[in-house]
Structure 1
């Protein structure tokens, strides 16, 4: 039997009908004991898991020793007034921002940690 090249196989696949391709997939599954759906789904799931979360929440867990600096940072991040920012800081642990991009969350964490706070990203 002559050895088929990759181009020969691709040409066949381009010209085959859907029914012929379905029969081919079934024959391959039977011959080699594999399931085509699992082979396609596994890499997609692994890629999604490796990408990490698309939205995160930044939580102020502890104020630390410099409460005034943390209040200023919270005001800058959230746009709240002085009284509301103080209430938020006093109620720690408190959510600072929800459903934001991980990159933005990292920037917020850096600002708050720079002010002396302890921050958690979930």
Structure 2
């Protein structure tokens, strides 16, 4: 209990029992003060005593021992390392790409999905290009302006051929240089 809290509790105890001495009021406070629960002392009892024992053992580990425990569990349970701050879906896509890289691609297969990249733009048509990028990508006006000013930049990825050609034609009419890969 902090000092102001103790002071307030003592003054309350004195107002309740004005005739008792300071000693009596302090003993009164000790018997009526509720016990303070610590974060690690939860009130909910674990359902399984085995789990309770494991939790007790883990809570007594040092930081280095905890790191070793985590790495051991990851290796035994085959849990992949996820990048910090990354998306959870990104590691799932990586094995698929690795499998595709292992298999040789058929030489005669025609490309169906394209990437559209904004290379540069005419300064006079900047406002029109920003509005078009805003409509195409669904960005806010400020984000669209930042996007256009940071050219060259990838606009869309994995776009069907017809849609990519339409985007390229529209942007070229406005005065932008757009490349379809």
TM-score (norm 1): 0.58
Written as runs of structure 1 = structure 2, the 5 A alignment for 1:73-88 is 73-88=132-147
1:111 aligns with 2:173: no
Secondary structure of 1:119's match? strand
1:53: which partner in 2?
A: 111
Written as runs of structure 1 = structure 2, the 5 A alignment for 1:28-39 is none
Mark the runs of 5 or more structure 2 residues left unpaired by the alignment. Answer: 1-105
Aligned-pair distance for 1:58?
0.2
Larger RCO (CA under 8 A, 6+ residues apart): 1
Aligned-pair distance for 1:45?
4.4
Written as runs of structure 1 = structure 2, the 5 A alignment for 1:5-20 is none
TM-score (norm 2): 0.40
Bigger Rg over Cα = 2
Q: Between Structure 1 and Structure 2, how many residues are aligned?
A: 75
Mark the runs of 5 or more structure 1 residues left unpaired by the alignment. Answer: 1-43
1:102: which partner in 2?
A: 161
Higher helix share: 1
Written as runs of structure 1 = structure 2, the 5 A alignment for 1:58-77 is 58-65=116-123, 66-77=125-136
TM-align CA RMSD:
1.3
